[in-house]
Amino acid sequence: MSNLDPQAENDIYRRTAQLLEADIANELVALDPEQGKCFGFNDVATDVWRKLERPCTFAELKKELLADYDVSDEECANDLRALLDQMRAARLIDRVS
């Protein structure tokens, strides 16, 4: 089981950056013209970025990833939290509590 509190599970994430994107197999490279930054997304980050085309709660994202990947609930929650934090730090998304 995830150790996240129910409030964190209901946090909503949404895109804040408009990226120029190019696909490479299951991955993505992207430019943020406003920040002048270039990003390489691995397959999981690409999945999460695409799911965030519309705002999603943490719980929704986790549920969809659990359906797609063979991973425990706790590992999924921890990795997803780390990825979302990384995306927030890069100013690609924000969180609405």
Size of the site for other proteins (CB under 8 A): 23
* Closest to 20 measured CA to CA, from 5, 35, 2, 4: 35
Q: How far is the CB of 31 from other proteins (least distance, A)?
A: 5
Q: CA–CA separation, 41 vs 72, rounded Å?
A: 22
Q: CA–CA separation, 79 vs 55, rounded Å?
A: 19
Q: How far is the CB of 87 from other proteins (least distance, A)?
A: 8
Q: Site residues for other proteins, window 18-77 (CB under 8 A)?
A: 20-24, 27, 29-31, 33-42, 45
Q: How far is the CB of 30 from other proteins (least distance, A)?
A: 8
